[in-house]
């Protein structure tokens, strides 16, 4: 799991214990993902999960899309908050290319009783989102983008079609471990260059209002006007 850049381990523990305890299925997802080793760094932190839940509550989100499901933590956090507000009407559409990672997610969603409210679309998210824009334009409340970084711009453009006015688009990892201020990384690494280009684009994009936050590895928020 990631942790906020610049926070000591003691401060990270303080923040985590100051938040409400995770749902048991979220805690099991985190523990079992940690046991997968290095790859577990892809999972959002508990405080980022609490943040996503608060975002969903602030805009009374009922329908969400997630690009990059992995073992299901952020999707579960989001659907739990939406179900709390909207009951069985809450829906989350998750996009991922990996059957292997997302196969683990289902058991946490089952444990939390939300499996019926999560639709998993396996395949390149560019294609999945293109399909969704045909049928669900303007109907989605919140989109969390946390997959391949070179895809972020394409995901953003599709997300702008999918979300309603006042809908929220969130991008994870916009600090990219600090690489976004390293000139060598920007010129050598396509992921870093894509994240810097996205931040520059959104700074002047009149279709959205934005807040660039430093939570975790950086979460960039864009609210559709």
Ligand X SMILES: C[S@@+](CC[C@H](N)C(=O)[O-])C[C@H]1O[C@@H](n2cnc3c(N)ncnc32)[C@H](O)[C@@H]1O
Residues that bind ligand X (CB under 6 A): 42-44, 68-71, 73-74, 95-98, 101, 124-125, 146-148, 151
Separation of alpha carbons 191 and 214, rounded Å: 18
Nearer to ligand X, 53 or 74 (CB): 74
Cβ 146 to ligand X shortest distance, Å:
4
Vertex 162, ends 158 and 167: CA angle to 5°? 115
User: Is residue 173 within 8 Å of residue 149, measured between CB atoms?
Assistant: yes
Nearer to ligand X, 26 or 208 (CB): 26
Cβ 183 to ligand X shortest distance, Å:
25
In this structure, is the dihedral angle defined by the CA atoms of residues 38, 42, 43 and 46, taken in order, positive or negative?
Answer: positive
Phi (first) and psi of residue 63, to 5 degrees: -125, 125
- For residue 117, give the H/E element and its range: none
User: Is residue 206 within 8 Å of residue 149, measured between CB atoms?
Assistant: no
Separation of alpha carbons 199 and 225, rounded Å: 18
Separation of alpha carbons 36 and 41, rounded Å: 10
Cβ 13 to ligand X shortest distance, Å:
20
Nearer to ligand X, 24 or 204 (CB): 24
Nearer to ligand X, 207 or 214 (CB): 214
Cβ 162 to ligand X shortest distance, Å:
15
What crossing angle do the helices spanning 190-203 and 152-162 adopt, rounded to 10°?
Answer: 40
Pairing status of strand 140-145 against strand 91-96: unpaired
Nearer to ligand X, 63 or 71 (CB): 71
Cβ 97 to ligand X shortest distance, Å:
4
Cβ 206 to ligand X shortest distance, Å:
28
Nearer to ligand X, 51 or 163 (CB): 51
Separation of alpha carbons 215 and 48, rounded Å: 7
């Amino acid at each position: 799991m990631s942790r906020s850049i610049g926070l000591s381990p003691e401060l990270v523990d303080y923040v985590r214990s100051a938040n409400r305890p995770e749902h048991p299925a979220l805690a099991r997802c985190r523990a079992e993902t940690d046991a997968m080793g290095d790859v577990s760094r892809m999972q959002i932190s508990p405080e980022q999960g609490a943040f996503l839940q608060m975002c969903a509550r602030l805009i009374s989100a009922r329908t969400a899309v997630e690009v990059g499901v992995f073992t299901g933590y952020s999707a579960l956090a989001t659907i739990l908050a939406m179900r709390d507000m909207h009951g069985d009407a809450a829906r989350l559409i998750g996009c991922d290319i990996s059957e292997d990672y997302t196969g683990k997610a289902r058991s946490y969603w089952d444990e939390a009783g939300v499996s019926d409210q999560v639709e998993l679309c396996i395949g390149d998210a560019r294609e999945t989102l293109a399909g969704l824009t045909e049928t669900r334009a303007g109907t989605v409340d919140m989109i969390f983008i946390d997959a391949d970084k070179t895809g972020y711009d394409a995901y953003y453009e599709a997300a702008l079609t999918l979300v309603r006015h006042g809908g929220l688009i969130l991008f994870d990892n916009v600090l990219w471990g600090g690489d976004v201020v390293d000139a060598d990384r920007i010129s050598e690494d396509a992921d870093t260059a894509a994240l810097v280009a996205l931040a520059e684009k959104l700074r002047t994009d009149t279709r959205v209002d934005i807040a660039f936050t430093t939570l975790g590895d950086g979460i960039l928020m864009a609210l559709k006007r």
